[in-house]
Amino acid sequence: MKEEKDGSKPEDAAAKEEAVLNEVEKLSKESAEWRDKLLRVCADYDNARKRWERERDDLLKYGAVTLLRDLLTVVDELEQALKMAREHKSDAEILKGLELMHKNFVNLLKKNGLEVIETKGKKFDPHFHEIMGMQDITEGEDQGILEEIQKGYLCEGKVLRTSKVVVGVKKEKEILEEGNS
């Protein structure tokens, strides 16, 4: 048998080389597993960061909803006071002061995302309106809103309070006649 310069046999060199290659392959697999774990942790962190940002944005956007909902009572009371002052022909200065206070308060709420749900000329929509009464009608649109009892509001596009409305309802006979013509 032939010996290498360092005194080792060729079989020993081949075995060492195979052992080194096995170790390299093992370390390469281990490295790939650690890399995969690192990528997953980075992705999890990135997803958590995005979720936290969304939650923070939602909190900032909708955090005032409870306060706005509570302040709607004040708006209702101001509107009622204005109505009473007009009906009883109160002092013009008091009426003017109430109107200014109401206007400023409503503008402040609008600046913070509050929107009035429109009812005039609209058809009843259960997502935005609550029926407080119904009246038989012969003309006009079936399920059309006839009267608004209490204003409804949206906050950033979400319903804060539904509008309380009276809806016009056509009798079945009139609906059938309209469908046949």
Q: If you search the block for the tokens 């003017």, which residue do you land on?
A: 96
Tell me the pLDDT tens digit for each residue of 19-56: 999 999 999 999 999 999 999 999 998 999 999 998 88
User: Is there a single domain that holds both residue 30 and residue 5?
Assistant: yes
pLDDT value of position 181: 58
Structure tokens at 39: 């990528």
Q: For residues 94 and 120, state if they share a domain.
A: no
Rounded to 5°, the CA angle 77-80-81 comes to 85
Number of domains in the chain: 3
pLDDT at residue 47 in the model: 92
Same domain for 126 and 75 = no
Q: For residue 123, give the DSSP letter.
A: B
pLDDT confidence tier of residue 5, bands split at 50, 70 and 90 = low
| pLDDT higher than 60, residue 2 | no
Q: Which two tokens stand for residue 52?
A: 């936290």
Q: Tell me how far CA of residue 124 lies from CA of 28, 141, 158, 172, in angstroms.
A: 67, 10, 17, 18
170, 129: one domain: yes
pTM comes to 0.56
Q: Judge if 136 and 175 occupy the same domain.
A: yes
- State how far the Cα of 127 lies from the Cα of 131, in Å rounded to an integer: 11
CA Rg value for the chain: 37
Q: Find tokens 């010996």 and name the residue.
A: 3
Helices marked H in the chain: 10-62, 65-87, 92-111, 172-180
Q: Could you tell me which residue, 82 or 177, shows the higher pLDDT?
A: 82
Residue 111 CB-half CA count within 13 A: 6
Verify that 54 and 7 share a domain, yes or no.
Answer: yes
User: 124-169, pLDDT tens digit by residue?
Assistant: 999 999 999 999 888 878 889 999 999 999 988 889 899 999 999 9
Range of the domain at 71: 67-112
pLDDT at 1: 46
pLDDT at 4 > cutoff 60: no
71 and 53, same structural domain?
no
Dihedral of the alpha carbons of 116, 110, 64, 120, in degrees to the nearest 10: 0
